[in-house]
Amino acid sequence: MKVEVLVSTMHQKDLTLINKMNIKGDAIIINQCDRNEYIESNDHNRSLRMYSFSEFGVGKSRNNALMRSTGDICLMADDDMVYVDNYEEIVLNAFIENPKADMILFNVPILKKNGQKIIKVKENKRVSFFNSLKYGTVNIAYRREKIIKRNIFFSLLFGGGARYGCGEDSIFITESLKKGMKIYSNKSIIAEIQEGESTWFTGYNEKFFFDKGALFAAISKKGAYLLAIQFIIRKRKLYLEGNLTLRVALRNMLLGIRNFKK
């Protein structure tokens, strides 16, 4: 089986990002910038391809990579990740040891500026709808053939550069579950992320909760209100950090649900 890394990035001039991210094997870079261009290199028996497009939107970027991928196992990546040296071995072994897995969510710790390390994958287990929303795109590895056969792609309405600020990862994972993909989590670390400035996150403000409501409506139109209520109860510190009251935060989530359902 061949592992291929699918990178979404912006404003790259050449393939130097490959070394910065410590990518050892095959990779596709989707570079959103001010030009249309194609670069490829076959270096040390690895295939490196960069497609530059004069367009924006993370959903478009990830779909462009998915459509052009050729690997048996694809890893979704952002340009702020640095892979461990043996990530390919870790990923391949995990899929070999669990042949039932169509998708595996690996550990990619986030190293925050205050020294805190955020680890999302804390155990090896089957992922269900109810515990799937905490994972991000960078955790995802999937069998390409399984995704293509089920016609699963990233939403163009969610994520950086789209109408709603975030959530394309959650929709991709939940859509995979709805279409019968068997998803597992794996504690093995394949990369790390050094926290930087976000291109979409501007704080836990009214727009954040509006977009979160829209996300819940996209995931489950029938269960959107229940998802919103449980979120507002569990994540009390978020709206307090944004200097919002529970009422204001919940109101904006409900507005987001209604907006998406129109």
Distance CA 129, CA 227 (A): 12
Quick one: 211 and 178 in the same domain? no
Question: Of 142, 165, 194, which closes a domain?
Answer: 194
Q: What is the pLDDT of residue 14?
A: 95
- Does residue 199 lie within any of the structural domains? no
Instruction: Give the end of a domain, one of 194, 215, 239.
Output: 194
Which structural domain, as residue segments, surrounds residue 65?
3-194
Q: Considering 144, 170, 194, which residue would you say is the last residue of a domain? A: 194
Answer yes or no: do 117 and 241 share one domain: no
CA-to-CA separations, 259 to 170, 210, 218, 221, in angstroms, rounded: 19, 9, 11, 12
217 and 142 in a single domain? The answer is: no
Sign of CA dihedral 86, 61, 193, 218: negative
Residue 111 and residue 165 share a domain: yes
Residue 201 lies in a domain: no
Contact 210, 256 (CB under 8 A): yes
- Asked if residue 111 belongs to a domain, the reply is yes
pLDDT of residue 46: 92
The Cα–Cα gap between 239 and 107 comes to 27
Domain match, 42 and 168 both = yes
Instruction: Tell whether 231 and 166 lie within a shared domain.
Output: no
- 200 in any annotated domain: no
One domain, residues 97 and 144 = yes
Q: How do the pLDDT tens digits run along the chain, 262 residues long? A: 999 999 999 999 999 999 999 999 999 999 999 999 999 999 878 999 999 999 999 999 999 999 999 999 999 999 999 999 999 999 999 999 999 999 999 999 999 888 788 899 999 999 999 899 999 999 999 999 999 999 999 999 998 888 998 899 999 999 999 999 999 999 999 999 988 766 667 788 999 999 999 999 999 999 999 999 999 999 889 888 889 999 999 999 999 999 999 8
**What CATH number is attached to the domain comprising 63?**
3.90.550.10
Pairing mode, strands 125-126 and 183-189: antiparallel
Are residues 166 and 84 part of one domain?
yes
Do 62 and 125 belong together in one domain? yes
The pLDDT score that the predictor gives to residue 198 is: 63
Residue 129 and residue 223 in one domain: no
**Whether residue 12 is found in the same domain as residue 94:** yes
68 occurs within a structural domain: yes
Residue 33 maps to a domain: yes
Tell me the residue length of the chain: 262
* Structural domains counted in the chain: 2
In this prediction, residue 209 carries a pLDDT of 95
* Claim to verify: residue 132 and residue 254 sit in the same structural domain: no
